[in-house]
Amino acid sequence: MSTPGGPIRLTEEVATALAEGRPVVALESTIISHGMPYPDNVAMALEVEGIVRENGAVPATIAVLHGVPRAGLTAEDLELLASDPTVGKVSVRDLPLAIAQEAHGATTVAATMRLAALAGIDVFVTGGLGGVHQGASESFDISADLTELAATPVTVVCAGVKSILDIGLTLEVLETNGVPVMVMGSYDFPAFYSRESGFSAPSRVESADEVATAMAAARRLGLSSGLVVANPIPVEDEIPAAEIDAVIARALNDLDERGISGKDVTPYLLGRIVELTDGASLTANIALVRHNARLGSAIAVAHAAADR
Ligand code: PSU
Ligand code: MN
């Protein structure tokens, strides 16, 4: 028998909202387990769920717990994700085995998109996307987030791409894969901690309604890809590019010296940047996720209204 959400276990609240066509916002969990230190990570996760609610949508944080993909978590679940060292980083290719082994898994942007789509959730809020890593011509390190964006029609609200990645090549891959990339209120593609990356916005939008209208058009066209909405960090929270780029260069150097590769690269770099900035990067990261949660909720509200 099929259940709402397919293979995903939904909370009653999320299932009801989806069944009634009310706005739902998916949230990822790798940012909690592998993107921020404890206890700031669990405080951020709870706060962001509150922001989504205040803005008229139902939050659905996504993860795999005891091998079960879930959308909608309790405070205890979030605490576990934030603090239990056995929680793995689960991208799309890790999902089958995490389920088979009844493991706990924090889902990346890619895995969260896939599970959100299966659950019927169209809008997803995160901090930063994975992308083409610097030195990818040698390492071949390109995040599965980009593969998933090519294949799964979910709108991902983020603060752009940080310069641990090759921003230009990341934008090229998104273009090749037919992924619409819209920047909210700017002609410059944002670089996560900074409002400007030096790369032009592939396109500019001014409102949540405009994004919802583009989502509806993409659906009518039968586009298989996701949409990226890049929301520049608020001016008062940004870290100037020159300042953060020096820190990132040092973190990349430390990464090389330690010989870290594969799925550990992004978590290592994020942790190292927090250390090297004495927590200033964490403060900026939390501020931009809050900002994205407000925009993503407004998009989900506009999208739900348009769908009626
Ligand atoms: N960038 C961030 N914070 C994060 C991540 C990326 O600023 O927490 C996480 C996201 O879950 C993203 C994942 O999907 O890292 C990408 O990992 P990889 O580069 O291994 O694909
Ligand atoms: Mn990688």
168-180 pLDDT tens trace: 999 999 999 999 9
Residue nearest to atom 7 of ligand 1 (CA): 128
Please name the residue whose Cα sits nearest to atom 2 of ligand 1.
Answer: 128
Q: What is the pLDDT of residue 7?
A: 87
Q: What is the pLDDT of residue 308?
A: 63
At 4 the pLDDT is 61
- Among all bound ligands, the one having the nearest atom to the CA of 63 is 1
- Average pLDDT for residues 138-148, to the nearest whole number? 96
Predicted pLDDT at 163: 87
Q: Model confidence over 270-288: pLDDT tens digits? A: 999 999 999 999 999 999 9
What is the residue with the minimal CA distance to atom 18 of ligand 1?
A: 143
Q: Mean pLDDT throughout 184-201?
A: 97
Q: Is the CB of 144 under 6 A from ligand 1?
A: yes
Q: What is the mean pLDDT of residues 236-245?
A: 95
Is the previous residue joined to 7 through a cis bond, with omega within 30 degrees of 0?
no
pTM: 0.97
What average pLDDT does the chain have?
96
Rounded to the nearest whole angstrom, what is the distance from the C-alpha of residue 50 to the centroid of ligand 1? 23
Return the percentage of the chain with pLDDT > 90, whole number.
Answer: 97
Residues 36-79: tens digit of each pLDDT: 999 999 999 999 999 999 999 999 999 999 999 999 999 999 99
Q: What is the mean pLDDT of residues 202-225?
A: 98
Answer yes or no: is the C-beta of 134 below 6 A from any ligand 1 atom: no
Residue from 89, 109, 157, 281 to probe ligand 1 pocket by mutation (most atoms less than 8 Å from CB): 109
127 lines ligand 1 (CB under 6 A): yes
Mutate to test the pocket of ligand 1, among 40, 62, 142, 145 (most ligand atoms within 8 A of CB): 145
**9-307 CATH fold:** Indigoidine synthase fold (3.40.1790)
What per-residue confidence (pLDDT) applies to 23? 98
pLDDT exceeds cutoff 70 at 155? yes
Given a cut of 80, whether residue 3 has pLDDT beyond it is: no
CA of 166 to the centre of ligand 1 (A): 14
The number of beta carbons lying within 10 Å of the beta carbon of residue 217 is 11
| pLDDT number for residue 77 | 98
At residue 1, the pLDDT reads 43
Q: Is 143 in the pocket of ligand 1 (CB under 6 A)?
A: yes
The CA 144 to ligand 2 mean position distance, Å, reads: 7
For 135-157, what is the mean pLDDT? 97
Residue 113 CA to ligand 1 center (angstroms) comes to 13
Does residue 145 have its Cβ closer than 6 Å to ligand 1? yes
Instruction: Give pLDDT tens digits for 95-141.
Output: 999 999 999 999 999 999 999 999 999 999 999 999 999 999 999 99
Does the pLDDT value for residue 84 go beyond 80?
A: yes
How many Å lie between the centroid of ligand 2 and the Cα of residue 92? 12
* 109/81 Cα distance (integer angstroms): 16
285 CA distance to ligand 2 middle (Å): 20
Mean of pLDDT values over 156-166: 96
270 lines ligand 1 (CB under 6 A): yes
pLDDT band at residue 28 using 50, 70 and 90 as cut-offs: very high
Please tell me the distance from the alpha carbon of residue 189 to that of residue 171, in angstroms, as a whole number: 9
- Decide if pLDDT at 307 tops 90: no
* 232 Cβ below 6 A of ligand 1: no
The answer, yes or no, to whether any atom of ligand 1 lies below 6 A from the CB of 266, is yes
Q: What are phi and psi of 34, to 5 degrees?
A: -130, 5
User: Which amino acid does the sequence have at 46?
Assistant: L
pLDDT for residue 2 is more than 60: no
Query: For residue 21, which phi and psi values (nearest 5 degrees)?
Result: 70, 25
> Which are the catalytic amino acids?
28, 162
Q: Give CA–CA dist 157/184, Å, rounded.
A: 10
